[in-house]
């Protein structure tokens, strides 16, 4: 249950919980018979102690709104019929309108990513934001490319434009995709408002409310939020160091009812891992056997540092089951809001219809600027600068993690991208630890928000996109010191370098 809590507010946290649930019951969002979250679950999700939640539930029972039974839980009681005066216009004493949201949106608002902290004090090291460093954005080069594109494009750029996207941008993308082994032409490409819209379009193409979509666990949390908001059921399959657990995936597919598979085989978010060729081929074999389409999210495709990597799933797909999505948001800047999907023509044509129902078309002005930026070679020059800087930051982070992580920790060395997945000793909850780390001067993304079931996790995601080498060293040292202090005394006696293990 998503309950917004203001830590510094004058109103006690217990009272905030009571008032939120009371309003939800009175507005009909929590109907009679609804079972409230168990005390321990809600306490963990809100980051408060169990006594606080228990006190709130007790007060709700006193108010006659709920009933608690040992062994069964706490349930919402039926609401009494309103008095005639309350039903009259203005008879409610001027109580503000309480919107009753759809069930699917209400469920989506409970996705754990929305409980992650957003506002943090100034001066902390940001390991939480998967956003390119503003200091690396090629402002002047892009502005000049955009100006040249506007001069060439004329008045047509100020109209709605081709709903598939600017043709010269699609052709430029086709040229780049060919280098990765993806065979397509411009009409197989649909420009979208970022890869998130591409993902939402594909979900609408293949799924009806109540259908099941397989996602990885952990995974990109906003994908889960989008699926739940569409009324879809999320089936989470574990991901290990080698990628999606294909045996578990096969078991889920064999049960039937799966309409879509969502995967990130390259620079996985949040794990940072990339799967090998054999894993990709077996995944495609399973998808083919059970006739389930696959969304391949290649959001950091241009940020490879180490090795050559396996071809994208789309390049290996011989049956036309893979819908490939990507974006400029991570390698260039997110404000462009330009992503794309690539699929066989019959799928792209259907996706175009869904796209037009959502927003008609994407900005032709920004597409023209991007097309010019690519044509002039400015994007490739920008990538070389970004990759050089990224290499320094990842090296600094890995060196610092080896030095400062407490005993029993380990982390994944990515082949590229901004992300490092760190696993602390099992006794540590990375969600609750975040408060202390923030006070000491750093923030990260706790592992809990990446699991569809919001499970407790000792893992966390470090993103080096927004931190300098010096800040990375300082931030990792802070993380290590706070984590070490959270360990039992006996575990803290060993040295980090002796006890820490590093997964490659």
How many CA within 13 A on the CB side of residue 237? 22
pLDDT (0 to 100) of residue 81 = 55
101-116, pLDDT tens digit by residue?
A: 777 777 666 665 554 4
For position 338, what pLDDT does the model report?
A: 95
Q: What is the mean pLDDT of each run of 10 residues along the chain (504 residues)?
A: 72 87 85 89 85 89 86 84 47 65 70 54 90 95 95 87 95 96 97 95 95 97 91 95 96 97 98 98 98 98 94 97 97 93 97 94 94 97 97 98 97 97 97 94 95 94 97 98 86 37 29
What are the b/e assignments for 244-278, b being 16+ CB within 10 Å?
bbbebbbebbeeeebbbbbbbbbbbbbbbbbbeee
Torsion of the alpha carbons at 331, 335, 336 and 339, rounded to the nearest 10: 60
User: In the block, which residue shows the tokens 């290996």?
Assistant: 316
Are the beta carbons of 393 and 132 closer than 8 angstroms? Answer: no
Task: Give pLDDT, residue 166.
Answer: 96
User: What confidence tens digit (pLDDT) does each residue in 40-66 have?
Assistant: 888 888 888 888 988 899 889 888 899
Beta bridge partners of 420: 462
| CA gap 66, 483 in Å, rounded | 39
Could you read off the pLDDT of 424-451 as tens digits, one per residue? Answer: 999 999 999 999 999 999 999 999 999 9
Question: In this prediction, what percent of the chain has a pLDDT beyond 90?
Answer: 70
Q: Is the sign of the CA dihedral 341, 345, 350, 354 positive or negative?
A: positive
Query: What are the structural domains, with CATH classification, of the chain?
Result: 13-100 (1.10.10.10), 125-130+385-499 (3.90.1150.10), 139-376 (3.40.640.10)
Q: What is the DSSP string of 426-488?
A: TT--HHHHHHHHHHHTEE-EEGGGGSTT----SEEEEE-TT--HHHHHHHHHHHHHHHHHHS-
Q: How is the chain split among helix, strand and coil, in percent rounded to 5? A: 45, 15, 40
Cα–chain center distance at 220: 3
Burial class (CB in 10 A: 0-12, 13-18, 19+), 185: exposed
CA-CA distances (angstroms) from residue 80 to 25, 60, 87? 12, 15, 13
pLDDT for residue 120: 64
pLDDT of res. 203 = 97
The pLDDT tens digits for 477-504 are: 999 999 999 998 644 444 333 333 332 2
């Amino acid at each position: 249950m998503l309950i917004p809590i203001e830590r510094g507010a004058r109103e006690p946290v217990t009272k905030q919980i009571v008032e939120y649930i009371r309003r939800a019951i009175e507005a009909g969002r929590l109907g009679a018979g609804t079972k409230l979250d168990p005390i321990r679950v809600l306490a963990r999700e809100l980051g408060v102690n169990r006594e606080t939640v228990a006190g709130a539930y007790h007060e709700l029972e006193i108010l006659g709104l709920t009933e608690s039974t040992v062994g069964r839980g706490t349930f919402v009681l039926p609401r009494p019929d309103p008095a005639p005066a309350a039903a009259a216009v203005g008879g409610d004493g001027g109580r503000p309108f309480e919107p009753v949201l759809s069930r699917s949106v209400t469920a989506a608002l409970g996705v754990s990513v929305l409980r992650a902290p957003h506002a943090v004090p100034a001066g902390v090291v940001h390991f939480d934001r998967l956003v390119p460093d503003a200091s690396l954005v090629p402002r002047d080069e892009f502005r000049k490319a955009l100006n040249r594109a506007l001069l060439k494009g004329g008045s047509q750029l100020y109209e709605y434009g081709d709903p598939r996207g600017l043709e010269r941008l699609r052709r430029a993308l086709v040229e780049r995709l060919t280098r990765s082994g993806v065979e397509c032409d411009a009409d197989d490409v649909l420009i979208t408002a970022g890869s998130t819209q591409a993902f939402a379009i594909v979900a609408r193409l293949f799924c009806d409310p109540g259908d099941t979509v397989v996602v990885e666990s952990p995974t990109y949390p906003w994908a889960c939020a989008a699926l739940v908001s569409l009324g879809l059921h999320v089936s989470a399959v574990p991901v290990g160091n080698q990628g999606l657990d294909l045996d578990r995936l096969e078991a889920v597919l064999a049960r039937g009812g799966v309409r879509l598979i969502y995967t990130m085989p390259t620079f996985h978010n949040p794990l940072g891992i990339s799967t090998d060729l054999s894993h990709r081929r077996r995944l495609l074999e399973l998808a083919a056997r059970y006739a389930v389409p696959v969304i391949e999210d290649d959001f950091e495709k241009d940020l490879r540092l180490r090795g050559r990597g396996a071809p994208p799933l789309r390049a290996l797909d011989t049956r036309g089951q893979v819908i490939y999505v990507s974006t400029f948001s991570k390698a260039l800047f997110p404000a462009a809001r330009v992503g794309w999907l690539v699929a066989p023509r019959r799928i792209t044509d259907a996706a175009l219809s869904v796209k037009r129902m959502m927003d008609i078309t994407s900005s032709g002005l920004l597409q023209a600027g991007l097309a010019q930026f690519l044509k002039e070679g400015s994007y490739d020059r920008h990538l070389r600068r970004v990759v050089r800087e990224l290499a320094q930051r990842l090296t600094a982070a890995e060196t610092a993690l080896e030095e400062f992580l407490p005993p029993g920790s380990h982390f994944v060395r990515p082949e590229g991208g901004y992300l490092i997945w760190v696993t602390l000793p099992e006794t540590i909850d990375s969600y609750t630890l975040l408060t202390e780390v923030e006070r000491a001067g750093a923030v990260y993304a706790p592992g809990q928000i990446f699991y569809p079931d919001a499970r407790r996790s000792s893992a966390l995601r470090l993103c080096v996109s927004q931190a300098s080498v010096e800040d990375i060293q300082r931030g990792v040292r802070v993380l290590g010191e706070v984590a070490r202090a959270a360990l039992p005394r006996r575990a803290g006696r060993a040295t980090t370098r002796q006890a820490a293990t590093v997964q490659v």
